[in-house]
Every structure is written in C-alpha cells, then in structure tokens.
Chains A and B, each alone.
Chain A
Amino acid sequence: MSENFIRFQKVTKDYGTVRVVEDLDLDIARGEFVSLLGPSGSGKTTLLMMLAGFETVSAGAIVLDGQKINDLPTYKRDMGVVFQNYALFPHMSIAKNVAFPLDMRGTARAETAERVQKALDMVQLGHLADRLPGQLSGGQQQRVALARALVFEPRVVLMDEPLGALDKQLREQMQLDIRDLHHRLGLTIIFVTHDQDEALTMSDRIAVFNHGQIQQCASPREVYDHPANRFVAEFIGETNLLEGTVSAISGETLTLTLPGGASFQSHGLPGFSTGDKGLLSLRPERIDIYPQGEAPAGVNTLAGEVTDTVYQGDHLRVVIETAAGRIIARINRKVSEWENGAKVSLGFRAQDGWVIAP
C-alpha cells in the first residue's frame, strides 16, 4: 500500500482574479476514503474537478501514483466520477450506460456484457438493464452512475456530492452502500460533500475546507473531538465557545480562566503558553446538568438557569444562561428532564473540553 497514492502539492486555482484554491497540500493513500467537506465556494469541488481533469491547475502539481498528471487529459486519467446530477446518457439504456467505459476501452463484447451485469447486480439494478435513465428514480439513477463509475475498475473514484439530490432516507441508505462498496472493493474514494453527517459516517479522513484551504485533515473522531481551529469547531457539529486566558499548563491539561473569574480544566491543542488567549470548545452533548450545587467533585462546574428547553425526540436541547454566557446542552431524556427557570449546575470533565486558538 503506497502511502501517497495521490498527492496535491502546493496546488492553486485562480478564476481570473479570484483564488479559489490556495497552496493546497494533501496526500491520500491507496484504498483510503477521504471526504472533502466545507461550505459552498470553499474550493472542495474545484479541487475534485482539477483531479478529474475538468479544470486546469493554475500552479502546483497533482501526482497520481508517482506520475504528475497536471496535463494528462481527462479521458486518460482512469478515474470514475459520480456527479450530483447523475450525468447518465439519457439516450442509452442502463446497460449501455454502464457498458460505455468498457466500450471506450475496447473490451471484448462478451466480457463487457458480463462485467456490466456484475456491476448492475452490485447496485441491485440488474433487472432494469434495458430501461432508459429517465424511467428510473433518482436513487436508482445514482446507483447506475455508481455502477458506471466502478465497472472499469478505475484507479480512483471521485464523487461530487453524489447524494445531494436524494431525500434523507435514501441518502442514508446510499451512504452505507457506498461505505460497504469501499470496504469490499478496496476503492480509493474522494468524496465531496457539504453534509457533515455524511462525511462523519463514511470517511477514513475528512479534509475540512474553507477559503480554498484545508483547515484540518484528520479522522472523523479527531475532527469532531479535537478541532484544529474555530472554523472546524463551529462547522462540524454544534459547540459552545468560551473565550479566556490560559493561566496554567500541566501535561495535556490546560487551565483556562474566563474574564468573569471562573476557571476550567480542559484538554486542548498543543503549543499554548501561559498567558495566551484560548477558546474553549464545549460540545453540547458533553455537558451534564445537575440541580444547583449537586455537581460531583472533580469536574468543572458552572452555575446557571434554564431559559429554554426544546424537545427533539431522542434528546432534549437545553439552553442555560450562565455568568459565562449562554450555554447549550444536549441531554439524554433517560437521564433527566428540565423545566424552564430551573437553577442548575453544569458539569464537564477536562477531557470533554478542547481549547483552541481564538
């Protein structure tokens, strides 16, 4: 397994005077599932288009399997691309669509037929081979597109928000299907999405994009629990941010003192010195709520009053007004229920917080 199967080296893309991707470095291993996650206009799709060869690279190099492919035309790149709008050929039957890449490669007729059937069976659409794309539902069309992108065993599979046009249930089913295919076939997949749940569900690594740069590239757990900066912390999931000053450092535990005088023990990014400004990111589901004064010893506590509760089925969203500002907590309804106006103590452990640079 070569560690750096795909390498982006200082890749830059300019549209006129607008720089959409800037000095971007990213290495992707063979067999890895990497999601490019970010708001629209963050450069994630442009990066994918450059990898596919639909867009030129303004500066830098893209290397695939040791070969620089900047100037290699798309049709020689051997990458399967799945588009958001499916991009099936409307005048060809499903079978013809899936056979297209094999025809282009001059595969023998019998082998083509066999591989097409196999690919369609893989996405459970073998029985619809003779239909036209327009006669299929969106989910079926996207599965055909998937089969078409996989049938020629491409070196890399690129997916550009492939599930964006599907409804929620179908999308979740397809997420699991694609993840399963990834594991079963050992595919290298680069998956562009703006849906964080999708990225968290499917990826080996998530590259979080903003303003044409990668803010953080790490495993879903790492990106969620240990965001590299404020953008990542806010973009992925929901978080409470409390600003303060680092007043002590002991191993991996920092002490953050808030302007109001309260101070908390929390884990955080390495590299802080005493006296630095720090931002405590506290995930709502990591906060426990106790009746005032009843928080156990050894945890950070913060007194406050419940001002709003929102019933959300599997959990309760509780808004608490504290001296440090408004805190949102998410609690399991099995554990406790809270009414508006209740005086409470919030508690969280040092490992439940994460201090980042403001």
Chain B
Amino acid sequence: MKGSPRLRALILIAPLLFFLGLFFVWPLITVITQSVSDPAVSRVLPRTADLIGDWDGEGAPSAEIQAAFRADIVGATDDQAVGDVTRRLNSSKSGFRSLMGKTVTAVRENPDVDLAEVDKRWADPAFWKAIQDNASPYTDSFLLAAVDMERDSAGSVVAMKEGTSANFTILMRTLWTSALVMLCCLVIGLPYAMIAASVTGWKRAVLLGAVLLPLWTSLLVRTAAWMIILQDNGIINQVLTGLGITSGPLALIYNRFGVVLAMTHVLLPFMVLPIYSVLITVPGNLMSAAASLGAHPIRAFLRVLLPLSLRGVISGALLVFMTSIGYYITPALLGGAGDQMISSVIAEYATRSANWSMAAAIGLILLVLTLALYAVYNRLSRDPIQAR
C-alpha cells in the first residue's frame, strides 16, 4: 500500500477529528465568542466604529468621524437595531435617547447637516466617548457580570450593588457544596478502596461491583430513588417515626443535606476507583516489610500505605470536585431554593431569559475554573520519579 504511514493514520482518525471539531471545538469557540461579543453598536454604526477608535477623546471628533456617523445613520434602515443601539448608548450616558431621536430625524432629512447645530450636546465629548466605549464588538461586561462585577462610568471594575445579582454567591455555594461532597467521598472512599484492594476473589468483586453500580444506573433514576427514600413519608422517616426515635419527619430532602448525600453517592466511584487503582500497584508485601522492620501496623499505615495512596487520593478528590461543580439535576431535584448550583443559573439564562451571552460567560468562568483544577491535578498526579 502506498502513502506515508502518517497520512494513513490521519485518515483513520479523520472521523474522530471531524466529530471532535464539530461537536466540541466549534461549540466551545462559539461559547467563548458569545461570552465576550457585543455587536449591537458596531453592527449598526460600522463606519463610525472603525474610525472612532483613533479619536483622542478631547473636544469634538474630526469631521471625518462625524461624516462616518451621519453616513451610518443614513444607512441604518432597521429601526429596531437603531433602538437597541440607542438603549445601549443611553445606559452608558443618559440623555442619548432624546439626542439620538433628534439626530436620526435630522440626518435622514439632510445627510450633510452639522451635528453640533442639530443638538449642541454633540459638542460634548462625553457623548462621543459613550459611542467609542461601545464601538468595540467585544466586551468584558458579561464576564464581569458573571461574577457580580461591572464597569462604572469611569470604566473601572467595581462590584455590583448588593442585591442586584447573586451569581457570585451561587458560584461560591457551588464550590462549597462541591468541597463538601469531595470530603464526604474521601472519608467514605479511602477506607473503602483500601479494603477493596486488600481483599481478593469474590469479596473484591462484590466491593467493586457495589461501587460501580451507581455508574451503571441513570443519574435521574438514582436521584429519583433518593427522593423516594428521603422524602417526609419516605423509608427513613417512616422507620424513625415508627420506632419512636423522632416525633415527626426529619427534613432530609430539599436542603443541602439531601444534595450532598445524593451527590456523594453518585460521585463515590470517582473517588474509590483512582485510589483503588493506585493501591493495587503497591506490592502486597510492603506492609509485611514494614512490620518486619519494626513498624507497628498503625505506623506502617501512616508511613507506607497512606503516602503511597496519596496520588490516588488527589486524583479522586479533584475528579469528584471537578465533576460536582457542574452538577445540575441533583441539586435541582433534591435541593431547596438556596441549594441551586451555578449550572442551574446557566440553564436559567440559556432557556428562560434567552440571554446567551450571560449563559456563555458563566459557562466560561466554570470552564476556566475546571481547567485550573485540571492543571493542578496534572501536576500533583504526576509520577514522582518522572517528575524529577
């Protein structure tokens, strides 16, 4: 067969590359673009947007810029788009609404009219400054809003007024809930993995099967199962009240407890499996060796087995954390109003208020967070021998 092996290999993986490009890379680029793009002004006033970047902000802009502006207004036939621009400019500099209305009418009558004569506000650089600020097709306002920040009129980044937006609070809540889930998984998963790695035969098969079972079940089914178990007249509450341990049902669901419990259950395999896979590579007689060298079993555990399982612990912890910050269904079904995580905010923007830019911006924040954690994971899980 002719052709270089490299080319053949490329052809072989072409479908995969195509798939990745179409369904992963391209949407990712779209989301990133969406989160920083703000084409409202630049689309309606393209000529102005091109030229006004060179304006120094002192005095009225040159005749050339003013001519471009007039030409843009003449060219802008879509009144709704002009309305968008007016709204956007007005939010940067109040007074723009009446100014634009007046100007559009005047310019459409006479394309060569002197703007300062139409309205003397055009002699005020502040209004031109508003156009200049909004002329760029790119903006950081969505990204800032995603973490409850904004630019004030002077252009510096400040926190939004309290009560305006809860994105940051929800982001922090997401991180905190994820940390809690990670901790729970660690507390249960580390001993579990150690036991699973130390037994053999059917015992190991049963232990691993039990931890893998949740992975083979639909997330929705598992969450629904928890709803049945935890609800006020669910199994647990019925048993507790039936035995007279509690007088009424405990609040097990629609709160943080239910969310953390169900997420721990679902994510436990991601903690157990990495630790287990590290532990089974540890030669079985290291603990014997430690004992023969005079180490009490507890000291042998602390000095030998625990440090050796640390790589798995770090992998597992980050895996659980990274997965849980993106959780959506479980908090939505098992949590109360105060337990919603950042994914539900994204869904809210995307599906309910159709604010794609905000949804993309928050998504991007989440992506950056995950990538940062991944970098940490990569660094910590590297083989110490290769790392040297």
Contacts and interface: CB of A to CB of B under 8 A. Distances in A.
A207 B103 CA distance: 111
Given A54-B288, A132-B385, A90 B296 contact: no
B281 to A, nearest CB: 9
A100 B293 contact: yes
Nearest to A100: B293
Nearest to B383: A134
B15 interface: no
Contact of B291 (A53, A85, A134, A149): A53
Interface in B267-315: 282-283, 285-286, 288-297, 299-300, 303-304, 307-308
Most buried by A among B288, B294, B299: B294
A91 B293 contact: no
Interface in A79-122: 79-81, 83, 85, 87, 89-91, 100-101, 104-105
Interface size class of B (residues with CB under 8 A): 20 to 34
Given A54-B288, A81-B288, A132-B384, A89 B304 contact: yes
14 contacts: A52-B292, A75-B293, A75-B295, A75-B296, A75-B300, A79-B292, A80-B293, A87-B283, A89-B304, A100-B293, A100-B295, A104-B293, A132-B385, A149-B293
A87 B289 CA distance: 6
B283 A85 contact: yes
A100 B300 CA distance: 10
Q: Is the interface of B mostly helix, strand, loop or mixed?
A: helix
A136 to B, nearest CB: 11
Interface of B: 282-283, 285-286, 288-297, 299-300, 303-304, 307-308, 384-385, 388
Given A75-B295, A100-B303, A152-B293, A91 B384 contact: yes
Most buried by B among A53, A74, A76, A148: A74
Interface residues of A, number: 29
B286 A75 contact: no
A171 interface: no
Nearest to B307: A91
A85 B384 contact: no
Given A91-B307, A135-B385, A85 B294 contact: no
A78 B294 contact: yes
A77 B292 contact: yes
B285 A87 contact: yes
A73 B291 contact: yes
Contacts of A90: 282, 308
Contacts of B388: 132
B386 to A, nearest CB: 9
B298 to A, nearest CB: 10
Contacts of A91: 307-308, 384
Interface string A170-208: 000000000000000000000000000000000000000
A195 B203 CA distance: 36
Contacts of B300: 75
Contacts of A52: 288, 292
Contacts of A132: 384-385, 388
Contacts of A152: 293-294
A100 B286 CA distance: 12
B106 to A, nearest CB: 79
Contacts of A149: 292-293
Given A52-B288, A104-B299, 11 more contacts: A75-B291, A76-B294, A81-B289, A85-B285, A89-B289, A89-B303, A100-B290, A100-B293, A101-B294, A132-B385, A152-B293
The 10 A-B residue pairs whose C-beta atoms are closest, nearest first, are A101-B293, A87-B289, A104-B294, A74-B291, A81-B292, A134-B385, A75-B291, A104-B295, A87-B285, A91-B307
